[in-house]
Amino acid sequence: MGIVKGGILGTVIQKVANVVFQKWKGHNTVREKVDPANPQTPKQVFQRDRFSFITILGRLINDSVIFPYWNYLATSFTTAWNEFFSTNIPLQPVYVDPVTPFVPDFSVVEASRGLLEPAIFEGEPNYLTATGVFQAEWNPDIIGNGLSTDVVRVLIVDEENGVSFLTADIINTRGSVSLTLNIGLGRNATMLHAYLILYRGAGAEIEVSNSFYSIVTAI
């Protein structure tokens, strides 16, 4: 890398062919651009697939889940998206060997994160194939900081079709123990993923639970 002190290249900060001009410690510098010998190694592909999964999932639920239920974790240095991404990337499978591809693990995804007492599904939620209705029940017992009035929302992700559904806000509570939602006919229950989310309050005063995951059973 050479320092450019003046002349016609003195203010160049872009790439020209395989030469890159940029600022470095207050100096104009020039260096050769070197591409990796093999940018498609199995490990690189695995890592890209890992990041891609969380990115695609995040975009799918950004407005409905990430912004309302992760924004309270944001700081002057991070956003709700940053918090969701940095939390969920490490939870996904890690690279093992060149022949093991990345397979997304929906069961470890944290759709929400917080200190409010969570709730767990009672059994597995159901998908009624004849009507397209999703049904879920949960345990309302409280042993910590939960309240029977905490709002319950269920996020359903349809992996096969790349869509998500979220139950209505401020209708179901911890004490109401069950809910239903019409998500449409023709879905493959084995490709549905359900997340139980509880919250209380709003804005900077919101309290959120860790989400609870379940597979979905067709009936």
Q: What CATH number corresponds to the domain at position 166?
A: 2.60.40.10
* pLDDT of amino acid 40: 86
Whether residue 4 contacts residue 29, with contact meaning beta carbons closer than 8 Å, is answered with yes
Kindly report the average pLDDT of the chain as a whole number: 90
The answer to whether residues 121 and 198 belong to one domain is: yes
Q: Is the pLDDT of residue 200 over 60?
A: yes
In a domain, 13, yes or no: yes
pLDDT > 70 fraction of the chain, expressed in percent and rounded: 82
Tell me, yes or no, whether 7 and 77 share the same domain: no
133 has pLDDT over 60: yes
Q: Do both 63 and 139 map to the same domain? A: yes
Instruction: Estimate the crossing angle of helix 80-88 against helix 42-61, to 10 degrees.
Output: 140
| Per-residue pLDDT tens digits for 56-72 | 999 999 999 999 999 99
End-to-end CA distance of the chain: give it in Å, rounded: 66
Predicted local distance difference test score (pLDDT) of residue 8? 45
Q: For 135-165, b where at least 16 C-beta lie within 10 A, e where not — what string?
A: bbebebeeeeebeeebbbbbbbbbeeeeebb
> Domains in the chain: how many in total?
2
- Residue 168 maps to a domain: yes
23 and 69 fall within a common domain: no
82 lies in a domain? yes
50 and 27 part of one domain? no
The residue range of the domain holding 27 is 2-32
Q: What is the secondary structure of 31-53 as a DSSP string?
A: EE----S-TT-HHHHHHHHHHHH
Predicted confidence at residue 31, as pLDDT, reads 65
Residue 35 has pLDDT above 70, yes or no: no
Instruction: Flag whether 194 is in a domain.
Output: yes
Q: Please report the pLDDT score of residue 24 as a whole number.
A: 62
The answer to whether 58 touches 70, Cβ cutoff 8 Å, is no
Residue 37 forms part of a structural domain: no
Report the distance separating Cα 80 and Cα 93, nearest Å: 23
Whether residues 173 and 109 fall in one domain: yes
- 143 with 210, same domain: the answer is yes
Whether residues 78 and 11 fall in one domain: no
Q: Do residue 27 and residue 135 come from a single domain?
A: no
Based on the domain organization, do 95 and 6 belong to the same domain? no
Query: Is the domain of 94 the same as that of 121?
Result: yes
100 within a domain of the structure (yes/no): yes
Q: pLDDT tens digits for 143-195?
A: 999 999 999 999 999 999 999 999 999 899 999 999 999 999 999 999 999 99
